[in-house]
């Protein structure tokens, strides 16, 4: 009955919103990308996977989830080599990064939660296990798996502070679906308690830890190698995953930072690719010398220009930020000065970089509070941002010690991947051979 009501409401929303969606598809490229796949047209290569091998389907929504499961995918490939592991994403940026990391032949857009679209993929892939990253719960997708007897596991499961009231208010809707999940591997004890409260069976929920503690930047990226060469003699401020308003705050602070140390350059990495042009426009209007990372790829061999003191590099590429943090004299993690819930401070922590975040870090509360408890991060409002960065740049010994404590926090929390692989192995053993 709940599923019928959900589909009825979904159909009504589609009909009412059709003009808006048609306009968006006509005017915005990202709304057209992968549309046929999302509506149920299964790519031929995936059909071949479903016909030739036993399949595990892992769904990771966007860039953050793809990064989180990166090591898990490799470990599952090794542990269950007899299976074909396929990975779906929802966003275009997630799709591009997943294709780059895991191979385009096994990456696809997740179908919209429409009965016929979900049915087409389940019929074609016939997965023996569905793995969801974090809390990507869709009623038709879950129901389709349950009807076919496909176990569903959730890895890196969490309920953020921001989404908790909404889930709690709708627990009557979620309970029939979440109560049938086979395993739920939560990031923290708080997440486990919340998941049980909204309907997950307590005996199937366990705390595995955060997969992001196990994700280390793989080989050093091309951008990192180029920055190291171009920035010789300079110290880098790396501002990652920034949102609207934060780039302006950093540019306002930049002259003050240069007064304290004229041998600085900054790497500015907006969170969303669709904002690259807008941030470029902001830099163009400023008095700051700047360059785009993407332009380096078209430079003739041997013409690699050094960065000038005070110059800003716009990192307008996808998937290169993580290892760039290894060059940071100080790292700012965005989405946190503006009220957006913050982004992942573990990316710079793994390199022992001194970290600054804003006061809005609810999306990564447990991680950030672990860092705060070990004096391994600085919290700064927009007004405090310049002073905090200057302090860390000036006191290099204190900054290095703080960065080392951040690395220790990162290292001590490892192990979630192995716990997830063990749990997945148990589920596969229940469906047949897990090797």
The catalytic residues are 65
407-412 long-range CB contacts below 8 Å, 24 or more apart? 407/349, 407/350, 407/351, 407/352, 408/374, 408/376, 409/349, 409/370, 409/371, 409/374, 409/376, 410/213, 410/346, 410/349, 410/350
Do the Cβ atoms of 359 and 338 come closer than 8 Å?
no
CA gap 256, 173 in Å, rounded: 52
User: To which H or E segment does residue 321 belong?
Assistant: helix 321-324
Do the Cβ atoms of 347 and 403 come closer than 8 Å?
no
For residue 7 the two structure tokens come to 């589909």
Could you list the beta-strand ranges (E) of 218-311. 235-242, 264-270, 290-292
CA gap 174, 182 in Å, rounded: 15
CA gap 256, 235 in Å, rounded: 15
Query: How many CB atoms are closer than 10 A to CB 369?
Result: 12
Q: Which residues contact 45 (CB under 8 A, 6 or more apart)?
A: 105, 106
For residue 123 the two structure tokens come to 């019929």
């Amino acid at each position: 009955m709940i599923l019928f009501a959900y589909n009825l409401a979904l159909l009504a929303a589609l009909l009412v919103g059709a003009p808006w969606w048609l306009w968006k598809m006509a005017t915005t490229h990202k709304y057209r990308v992968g549309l046929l796949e999302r509506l149920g047209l299964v790519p031929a290569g995936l059909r071949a996977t479903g016909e030739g091998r036993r399949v595990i389907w892992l769904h990771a929504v966007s860039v953050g989830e793809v990064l989180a499961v990166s090591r898990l995918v490799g470990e599952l490939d090794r542990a269950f080599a007899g299976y074909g592991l396929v990975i779906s994403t929802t966003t275009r940026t997630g799709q591009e990064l997943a294709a780059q990391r895991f191979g385009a032949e096994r990456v696809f857009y997740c179908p919209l939660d429409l009965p016929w679209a979900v049915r087409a993929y389940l019929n074609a892939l016939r997965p023996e296990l569905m793995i969801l990253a974090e809390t990507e719960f869709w009623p038709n997708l879950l129901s389709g798996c349950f009807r076919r007897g496909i176990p569903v596991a959730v890895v890196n499961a969490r309920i953020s502070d921001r989404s908790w009231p909404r889930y709690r208010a709708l627990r009557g809707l979620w309970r029939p679906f979440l109560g049938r999940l086979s395993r739920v591997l939560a990031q923290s004890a708080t997440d486990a308690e919340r998941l049980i409260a909204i309907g997950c069976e307590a005996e199937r929920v366990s705390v595995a830890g955060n997969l992001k503690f196990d994700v280390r930047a793989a080989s050093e990226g091309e951008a990192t190698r180029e920055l190291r060469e171009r920035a010789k003699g300079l110290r880098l401020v790396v501002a990652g995953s920034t949102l609207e308003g934060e780039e302006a705050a950093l540019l306002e602070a930049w002259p003050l930072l240069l007064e304290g140390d004229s041998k600085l350059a900054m790497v500015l990495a907006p969170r969303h690719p669709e904002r690259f042009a807008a941030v470029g426009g902001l830099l163009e209007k400023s008095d700051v010398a700047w360059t785009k990372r993407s332009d380096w790829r078209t430079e003739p061999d041997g013409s690699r220009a050094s960065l000038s003191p005070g110059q800003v590099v716009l990192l307008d590429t996808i998937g290169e930020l993580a290892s760039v943090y290894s060059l940071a004299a100080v790292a700012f993690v965005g989405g946190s000065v503006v009220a957006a819930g913050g982004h992942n401070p573990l990316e710079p922590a793994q390199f022992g970089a001194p970290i600054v975040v804003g006061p809005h870090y609810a999306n990564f509360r447990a991680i950030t509070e672990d860092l705060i408890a070990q004096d391994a991060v600085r919290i700064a409002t927009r007004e405090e941002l310049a002073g905090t960065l200057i302090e860390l740049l000036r006191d290099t010994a204190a900054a290095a010690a703080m960065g080392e404590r951040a690395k220790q926090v990162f290292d001590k929390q490892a192990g979630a991947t192995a716990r997830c692989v063990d749990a997945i192995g148990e589920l596969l053993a229940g469906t047949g051979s897990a090797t």
